[in-house]
Amino acid sequence: MQYISHDKPATPRSAHCQELRDPKRLKGLDRDNTLARFEKWCEMKGVPYEISRETYRGFESSLFGVYAPTIAKQKLRYLYEFGIQSHDLKTRDYFFENFPDLRTDAEIVAGASWTHLTRLFASELETSQRSRVLRELDNFFRWQGRTAEVAPSLQLGLLFLTEGSSERTKYQRLSRLCLGLEAVQPGCRDLPRLRAWQHVLYNRVCIWSKSRG
């Protein structure tokens, strides 16, 4: 009678090594190690184990003191992925604003801050800066959500959370935002004030440019 073995065939050594080098597995290990390191850092600093602007910047400094900039940035990206999911809306938007947004246009428009109508109008948006316009609209809709209880129109100064943003950059962003709002939400009550802010920044940028010229 022929003997039938039910043991799992041994994995060839080369295949086992390939499994250990699998990029997804290595990324998972690196992420877990980074989060464990962050937890220890929080414990050492005596701060809550939570991702915020302050804990991120503090942990960032510690990593840059140990790793090369490219490696440190790669590790910090794991914290960013948790930061944009924060229940604290200002923390969430801080991470969206200060780090590269890798979402596709479709993923941006599918965000919870968008309404069915704005998604519908956005699908017909035609501009050479479509992706940038959608990102500004997404930031605006998220800003509306986090300031809804304190009258959004009184909180325009909190629209941009980007660190070190110049007035020229703000003017360019406002230009894209107003273009987008006119297309997807033309009756927006904040649009006149945004246009007024845009005009003020335009004058400041022109004066600065002439002084430099």
Look at residue 150 in the predicted model and tell me its pLDDT. 58
Mean pLDDT of the chain: 86
pLDDT tens digits, one per residue of 78-129: 999 999 999 999 999 999 999 999 899 999 999 999 999 999 999 999 999 9
pLDDT tens digits, one per residue of 194-203: 999 999 999 9
SS (H, E, C) the chain: CCCCCCCCCCCCHHHHHHHHCCHHHHHHHHHHHHHHHHHHHHHHHCCCCCCCHHHHHHHHHHHHCCCCHHHHHHHHHHHHHHHCCCCCHHHHHHHHHHCCCCCCHHHHHCCCCCCHHHHHHHCCCCCCCHHHHHHHHHHHHHHHHHCHHHCHHHHHHHCCCCCCCCHHHHHHHHHHHHHHHHHHCCCCCCHHHHHHHHHHHHHHHHHHHHHHC
Across the range 135-148, mean pLDDT stands at 92
Look at residue 25 in the predicted model and tell me its pLDDT. 59
Whole-structure pTM value: 0.80
73 membership: H or E segment, kind and range: helix 69-83
Instruction: Domain ranges for the chain, please list them.
Output: 19-83, 108-213
